Amino acid sequence: MGTFIARISKGRTIRQFILGVLIVPTIVTCLWISAFGSVSILEVMNGNTAIADAVQNDVSTALFVFLETIPFTEAISVLAMCYSLHKGLSQDLKKKKEAEKANTATQAISNSSTNKITSKTNDKVSRGK
Task: Record the pTM.
Answer: 0.46
Q: For 98-108, what is each residue's pLDDT tens digit?
A: 878 877 767 76
DSSP per-residue codes, 39-77: HHHHHHHTT--HHHHHHHH-HHHHHHHHHTTSSSHHHHH
Residue 30 confidence (pLDDT): 92
Give yes or no for residue 116 having a pLDDT over 80.
no
